[in-house]
Amino acid sequence: MAKKKTAEEKSHYVGIIGLGYVGLPLAREFCIGGAKVLGFDVNTPMVNKINRGKSPIKHIPNSHLTDMISTGRFKATDKMNQLSKPDTLLICVPTPLTENREPDMFYVEETCKTIAKYLRKGQLVVLESTTYPGTTRELMLPILESSGLKAGKDFYMAYSPEREDPGNKDFRTSTIPKVVGGLDKSSLDMALDVYSCAIDTLVPVDSCEIAEAAKIIENTYRCVNIAMVNELKQLFDRMGIDVWEVIRAASTKPFGFKAFYPGPGLGGHCIPIDPFYLTWKARQYGMATRFIELAGEINTEMPHYVVTRTMDALNDKKKSLKGSKVLVLGLAYKKDIDDVRESPSLELIELLKEKGAKVDYNDPYIPQTHKQRDYDLQMKSKNLTAKMLKTYDVALIATDHSDYDYKWIVENSQLVIDTRNATADVKKGRKKIVKA
């Protein structure tokens, strides 16, 4: 493993394409490491906001942006004709799925086409977006070589998957070991040299394909294990057994067991999506990835299961879901962040509305919804007060934010549907709580 260099050892000029949840934290680490960073994004209002020192991401404080800008090390731009300026270009754009659960490489392809227009000799191009094995060599290489320049001779290519975990206070971008694979040895050496000023520990591998596969297997591992506990949650519910208590007990074994926890579905840009990139690629080799596809089916059905549990709980109170008022607590895909990408809360809201419920939401980090690829809820977060909480037939805990006072929520709610075991320590009012 390679170790981080100090700013004095090497100076770099890095371009980062995509200033979202991956690109902006990476830009911060490069600035801290002594590099000069030019950030690229097609979202002009966001670029202007960033240049004013206003962070669009909760876990990147405004003060960090201000420091980056005031030192002269960072600037954001929407002018793609400046792509020839940096020595290194890091691509941090979305890699979503199509409606048929196949890789949607539009953003990667369009980014590479734009880079090809301005690519110059000596530049290094690195993809950080999660993708299927073969993307760098099979998809990106021909597009970049359409510039007339030859990879490995005139310019260089590598793949180094992002490993961001928003809200994780134990790690930051610089302290998470970074896997790096090059198109050839020269490309690998260049990529390691660049990343060494921003990342503490580098993990070089023999090819781009190995690095691409490493990222896919990380998220597939989590997807499959989460699917298992989601299925067990449904089984244990029928058996009258608390799945969270089962996991807590099993976790006392000091070896051979790693705890994964159930929830209302999978969220975030990685785990719900990445395994299907591998499934798609496997079909090209005549192989079905049954584990992955089964895990996907189970996780995808979890919002439906939560809605069914809500209907049953209301039925026990001689109420119908149709016409009931439901307050969804938490819109983010996990606790203490402002990221709603692939959040199961979005589907929960739509499913509840389809069943005739009157639905509102509260999230301390997300004051209002914004248009997304599959959703346009056009909703605003409701202020959480005891008086308003009492007016709802159901308080549905979809995200277990630390800001919530769960004892207070239970006390002031008629019925609580808890999908995260957030009310585990609440003693009073247990009869109001239904775990789902």
Identify whether 34 is part of a domain. Answer: yes
CA-closest candidate to residue 334, choices 165, 163, 175: 165
For the chain, the farthest-separated pair of C-alpha atoms sits apart, in whole angstroms, at 73
Q: Are residues 253 and 345 in the same domain?
A: yes
Identify whether 24 is part of a domain. Answer: yes
Q: What is the CATH number of the domain that holds 31?
A: 3.40.50.720
Q: Are residues 84 and 128 in the same domain?
A: yes
Q: Are residues 93 and 119 in the same domain?
A: yes
pLDDT tens digits, one per residue of 288-344: 999 889 998 999 999 999 999 999 999 999 999 999 999 999 999 999 999 898 899
With pLDDT > 90 as the criterion, what percentage of the chain qualifies? 84
pLDDT tens digits, one per residue of 141-172: 999 999 999 999 999 999 999 998 777 788 88
Please tell me the distance from the alpha carbon of residue 299 to that of residue 129, in angstroms, as a whole number: 23
Q: Are residues 141 and 273 in the same domain?
A: no
Q: Are residues 411 and 300 in the same domain?
A: yes
Question: Which residues does the annotation mark as catalytic?
Answer: 270
Q: Last residue of a domain, which of 150, 175, 206?
A: 206
Identify whether 165 is part of a domain. Answer: yes
Q: Are residues 177 and 307 in the same domain?
A: no
pLDDT tens digits, one per residue of 212-258: 999 999 989 999 999 999 999 999 999 999 999 999 999 999 999 99
- For the residues of 301-315, what is the DSSP string, one character each? HHHHHHHHHHHHHHH
Q: Are residues 201 and 225 in the same domain?
A: no
pLDDT tens digits, one per residue of 379-389: 999 999 999 99
Identify whether 216 is part of a domain. Answer: no
Query: What confidence score (pLDDT) does residue 91 get?
Result: 98
CA-closest candidate to residue 17, choices 156, 158, 144, 128: 128
Q: Last residue of a domain, which of 206, 230, 246?
A: 206
How confident is the prediction for the chain on average, in pLDDT? 93
Q: Are residues 270 and 159 in the same domain?
A: no
Identify whether 274 is part of a domain. Answer: yes
Q: Are residues 202 and 234 in the same domain?
A: no
Identify whether 32 is part of a domain. Answer: yes
Mean pLDDT along residues 92-98: 90
Query: What confidence score (pLDDT) does residue 206 get?
Result: 97
Q: Last residue of a domain, which of 161, 182, 206?
A: 206
Q: Number of folded domains in the chain?
A: 2
Structural domain range at position 227: 221-435
For the whole model, what pTM was predicted? 0.89
Q: Are residues 165 and 246 in the same domain?
A: no
CA-closest candidate to residue 364, choices 382, 347, 350, 376: 382
Identify whether 195 is part of a domain. Answer: yes
Please tell me the distance from the alpha carbon of residue 55 to that of residue 71, in angstroms, as a whole number: 17
Identify whether 185 is part of a domain. Answer: yes
Q: Are residues 20 and 78 in the same domain?
A: yes
Backbone angles phi, psi at 289, to 5 degrees: -95, 85
Q: Are residues 175 and 290 in the same domain?
A: no
